[in-house]
A and B are shown apart, each in its own frame.
Chain A
Amino acid sequence: MSALSAKAASSAVELARKGVARSRHVRDGWEFAIRGMLGCTALISIAITVGIITILLRETIAFIQMPDITLTDFLFGTTWSPLLGAEKHFGIWPLICGTFLVSVVAAMTAIPLGLITAIYLSEYATNRKRAILKPIIEILAGVPTVVYGFFALLVITPALQGACNFLFGTPIFSGYNAGAAGIAVGIMILPIVASLSEDAMQSVPRSLREGAYALGSTKFDVSVKVVTPAALSGIMASCFLAITRAIGETMVVALAAGGLAHMTLNPADQVQTMTAYMVQIFLGDAPAFGVENLSSYAVAMVLFMVTLVLSIIGNILLNRYREVYE
């Protein structure tokens, strides 16, 4: 028994003595009060969720009740022009399209790199190498998102333009574009994919690997045909949670993706995401309490619902692999 558990036992004895000296009634009352207080702090998280849903719902309803706005137009319209032109259109699909484009580019950057890195760390790297490499990769997760925005705007975009200029003679990528923002978001979520997938692979029982090696498998066979399928729900969970982050990412797209909401799937074009639109409104481009202001709440509602669904799927998958192997 270590020093700490001995100390724990002795202080528990002392506590018990004090407890006996004090009246049992007082002690029970104290216990009850503490338990109640801690229970209340736990309820705050519920209150936060209820608060978010109530506020978003209230303002979204107010938005839909504005003149010339209908729910069908909002949910199925393909023109989003709240600040331009005489006739304002509020059809959310251009914003969803922009968000989708940035997230797809981010996922295409983060998932292959992250998964291969995870396989390397979990299956190939020695313990020493893993102990050095994993924290370095996790530094990427600790970098503030505004820094990635700067990186996307002033490093990735010029690099993409330069590369295209060299290859095709024209820059192709505009000064603000979905591609650079997506790559930056991808770098940001890479550690989530790598770290969570590696955890999932580590919790695959050794016996499965040993069985495969005994049959003459190479490391490649074991990693790709045994460990990856066995850890699949954890890997999927990591991808879902990472994409949730990508969809909700704000500062990168506000800086680097541009401000023009239109339906496009071309990563060289500028796009506006749901979060970037909210930034545009809250930075003061629209009169307070007008229809533009209310529209940002409706956009926030859609954003909240999308991220909530993805995050729920991710957490269900996470629970599943934890149940299987722990």
Chain B
Amino acid sequence: MSGISLRTKRILKNRAFLALCLFSTSATILILALLLMSIMVQGSHFLFSSEALSAVFGHGELSQVTKIIRWEFLSNFASRFPEKAGIYAAVIGSLWVCVICALLALPLGIGTAIYLEEFAPKNRWTALIDFNIRNLAGVPSIVYGILGLTAFTRMFGLFGSDKNSALSFGPDNAWWHIQLPFGQGLLAGGLTLMLVVLPIVIISSREALRAVPSSLRQASLAIGATPWQTASKITLPAAIPSILTGAILAMSRAMGEAAPLLVLGIPVFIANTPDNLNDNFTVLPFQIFNWAGRPQESFHQLAASAIVVLLVVLVCFNGVAVYLRQKLRKPLA
């Protein structure tokens, strides 16, 4: 040990490692900042009005700015001309398909979670279902797209082709008008996204139910309540804040998915919003994918603007999740 004692050496090693830790943690955060900034810079051109932009970056006067946000971008349909293009159809389509996905995935997912946590006997079958769900969470979303394409868009070819459907229910102008097979309609999209998020909803709901102290259940059962009464009136209400948080996070996943819907063959360019459950739709991530994949710079800027809108929607979702968790959380036990 030339001059440096063993102890000093170890302390120096510790210091160096702490520096490495700080470096890598701040690198992670810097990457996030860089990601958001680069998108904001590229997206500003179509998001903000020219007067607002020139006031900030150029020679315009701040006092002369009458409108900040370029609302046309939100209210126009997609277009070949970047200056006229907007994301109205994509935003409406995304919201619709997300609502349908939530209506399908949440009851099924929470139901499964209640069964597995509150009712299921601890045997081999339950273990199999549990293991299966954990592995479904790792299946790539594009594979769910293939299942959706065969099972919902084409319905195994049982009812004719998706262009020439064999069965339909409801008048053409009713919102609940449904054709079999579902084709590239909203219902097919919602069902396919349901497949993607179902494992996530189940896993997060189970964790929420497991966190409810068993003393509550035992008290209820001891007084003579049945297992379902215990689950529906005692356990579920206590677990609802965490279940909702998980559900909202799952919905933000659904909101950002493009791959499974791409497999269904949804269109990029449509000039109307969906009227019924069978109508064609497009979603924001798919629109972004399409714009980002084009060679022209102005379409890249459009993609960046759409990303900003998508991220704002997701931040709102997550804000609601945090708010609900704070608001509804009560001390248990």
* Chain A residues within 8 Å of B, Cβ to Cβ: 2-5, 8-9, 11-13, 15-16, 19-20, 27, 30-31, 34-35, 37-39, 41-46, 48-49, 51-52, 55-56, 112-113, 116-117, 119-121, 124, 133, 136-137, 139-140, 142-147, 149-151, 153-155, 187, 190, 194, 218-221, 223-224, 241, 244-245, 247-251, 254-255, 275, 278-279, 282-284, 297, 300, 303-304, 307-308, 310-312, 314-315
Contacts and interface: CB of A to CB of B under 8 A. Distances in A.
B21 A15 contact: no
B279 interface: no
Contacts of A251: 258-259, 285, 289
B11 interface: yes
Interface string B250-262: 0010011111001
Q: Please give me the 8 A-B residue pairs with the lowest Cβ-Cβ distance, nearest first.
A: A248-B140, A144-B256, A311-B138, A120-B21, A38-B115, A41-B111, A16-B224, A220-B14
Contact of B227 (A5, A31, A136, A151): A31
A220 B10 contact: yes
B262 A137 contact: no
A297 B112 contact: no
Contacts of B286: 146
B216 A5 contact: yes
Nearest to A221: B10
Given A146-B286, A254-B259, 19 more contacts: A2-B330, A8-B216, A12-B219, A13-B223, A19-B226, A34-B228, A43-B129, A52-B143, A55-B146, A120-B25, A133-B29, A143-B314, A145-B258, A147-B35, A150-B300, A220-B17, A244-B138, A307-B138, A308-B139
A120 B22 contact: yes
Contact of B136 (A13, A49, A56, A117): A49
Q: Is the interface of B mostly helix, strand, loop or mixed?
A: helix
17 contacts: A9-B219, A15-B220, A19-B224, A19-B229, A35-B227, A44-B108, A46-B128, A55-B151, A116-B24, A117-B21, A144-B314, A147-B307, A150-B303, A155-B35, A250-B141, A282-B262, A303-B140
Nearest to A152: B292
Nearest to B295: A175
A136 B29 contact: yes
A278 B263 contact: yes
B311 interface: yes
A177 B120 CA distance: 49
A150 B143 contact: no
Contacts of B114: 38
Interface in B280-300: 285-286, 288-289, 292-293, 300
B142 A300 contact: yes
Contacts of A254: 259, 289, 293
A142 B32 CA distance: 11
A100 to B, nearest CB: 15
Contact of B138 (A16, A19, A241): A241
Contacts of B133: 45
A275 B259 contact: yes
Q: Is the interface of A mostly helix, strand, loop or mixed?
A: helix
B20 interface: yes
A27 B20 CA distance: 63
A155 to B, nearest CB: 5
A120 B24 contact: yes
Interface stretch (B71-79, B195-203, B269-277): B195-203
B28 A248 contact: no
B18 interface: yes
A119 B138 contact: no
A153 B38 CA distance: 12
Contacts of B238: 4, 8
Given A11-B234, A30-B228, A311 B135 contact: yes
Contact of A248 (B143, B195, B265, B307): B143
Contacts of A140: 28, 31-32
A137 to B, nearest CB: 6
Interface string B128-158: 1101111111111111111101110000000
Contacts of B67: none
Contact of A314 (B18, B111, B138): B138
Contacts of B198: 44-45, 48
Given A117-B24, A250-B140, A282-B262, A219 B318 contact: no
B333 interface: yes
Contacts of B243: none
Contacts of A5: 215-216, 219, 332-333
A228 B111 CA distance: 38
Contacts of B289: 146, 149, 251, 254-255
A85 B311 CA distance: 42
Interface in B173-196: 195
A187 to B, nearest CB: 6
Contacts of A279: 142, 259, 262
Contact of A137 (B28, B228, B255): B28
A38 B119 contact: yes
B288 to A, nearest CB: 5
B233 interface: yes
Nearest to B133: A45
Chain B CB within 10 Å — which of A39, A147, A251, A254 has the most? A147
